[in-house]
Homo-oligomer: A and B are copies of this chain.
Amino acid sequence: MPFDQILRGECVETMRALPGGQVDCIFADPPYNLQLRGELRRPDESIVDGVDDSWDKFADYETYDRFTRDWLTEARRLLHKDGTIWVIGSYHNVFRLGAIMQDLGFWILNDIVWRKANPMPNFRGRRFTNAHETLIWAARGPASKYRFNYQAMKALNDDVQMRSDWYLPLCTGNERLKNAHGLKLHPTQKPESLLHRVLVASTQPEDLVLDPFCGSGTTPAMAKRLGRRFVAIERHPDYIAAAQERVDREVRLPDEQLAITPAKREAPRVPFGSFVERGALPAGTTLFDRQRRLRATVTPDGTLVSGAQRGSIHKLGAQLTNAPSCNGWTFWHFERDGVLTPIDILRTEADPLRAAG
């Protein structure tokens, strides 16, 4: 695998030469097929309303669909079974992208709306201002154990769940790459903030990120900055040169700045019994629910007893509340300095990383 390189070549062909199942995350910003729009502007379709015209149209859409199916098929082959893919598009192409992704077996996780802070107005006043683009986020398949850094996204959003609508400015100013004439180098350069959120949400440091339509290099640049590895594909030498220069200028953040809010799911599991053994909650200790309406006694093997009922902290909590399940760590409390404290505090004190979220 050619790590941290921008490969020159056609997207499908170049992907075919790479080994399968090794990519953790793909970000793809495919072309919108401008040819399609030109074809469809041919005069007076509505008057004819006929077969000839629909044949024309069908051929055009079919060409775009074939291209889309080809690159998405290769992308899916390269993707690790637990990897995810992001594809961005507008109403011109995103519906075809999404339908083909579903047909190929991708499992859509979210459609994300990038709300542009500063979109181009509609000059003719004939439509609503097209103020957003759509990203499709999908796993390789329905059974994928994909990565989603939930707590990091929540932290990024003032401690409320991140929604599917993202409000971000366009790429402008110094961030926008210019050519020798001072004009924008690439017509659709994506803002770094967009890639930042995408990569922080769905990858971790050292993950391999693939961008089959590299363009001005926002994906590899942000991957490098965030400590992710990348493979990028681009066919235009001018874009490759500019993107390579951009990546070279980029500095990887120090490790301690790459750490995100940890997920409790990924914290090491600590058996409740270990706190019994260590004497933090010795056998015989009484535990309560939050309202002090239920109580149970700790036994030497780390199970709880309450009357005739016995079980793990989770099982007994579920039993006593007639619930299908229960997180015993947050359900049960013990008395410390006269205050009822969740037993989860013991895990937090043993491993402060757990406190997050």
Contact = CB atoms under 8 A, between A and B. Distances in A.
A149 to B, nearest CB: 10
B99 A144 contact: no
A101 B91 CA distance: 12
Contacts of A58: 103
A96 B91 contact: no
Contacts of A201: 128
A98 B136 CA distance: 14
Contact of A113 (B46, B113, B154, B162): B113
A109 B136 contact: no
B131 A111 contact: no
A278 interface: no
Interface in A112-144: 112-113, 115, 119, 121-122, 125-132, 134, 136-137, 140-144
A164 interface: yes
The secondary-structure label for the interface of chain A is mixed
Contact of A91 (B92, B136, B142): B136
B110 A356 contact: no
Interface string A319-356: 00101110000000000000000000000000000001
Contact of A165 (B40, B103, B143, B357): B357
Contact of A54 (B57, B105, B122): B105
Contact of A102 (B96, B108, B127): B96
A105 B57 CA distance: 8
Nearest to A44: B143
B167 A356 contact: yes
B164 A131 contact: yes
A136 B111 CA distance: 15
Nearest to A122: B161
A153 interface: yes
Nearest to A323: B45
A41 interface: yes
Most chain B beta carbons < 10 A, residue from A47, A95, A110: A95
A310 to B, nearest CB: 20
B127 A109 contact: yes
A48 to B, nearest CB: 10
Interface in A67-126: 81, 90-92, 94-99, 101-103, 105, 107-113, 115, 119, 121-122, 125-126
Nearest to A39: B324
Given A96-B102, A105-B57, A165 B130 contact: no
B110 A127 contact: yes
A179 to B, nearest CB: 27
A271 interface: no
A315 to B, nearest CB: 15
A178 interface: no
A43 interface: yes
18 contacts: A40-B142, A45-B142, A45-B325, A57-B105, A90-B111, A91-B98, A91-B136, A94-B95, A95-B95, A95-B97, A95-B101, A96-B98, A112-B128, A113-B165, A125-B161, A126-B150, A132-B164, A165-B357
Given A53-B105, A95-B97, A113-B132, 8 more contacts: A41-B324, A45-B325, A46-B140, A46-B144, A47-B143, A54-B105, A92-B108, A96-B98
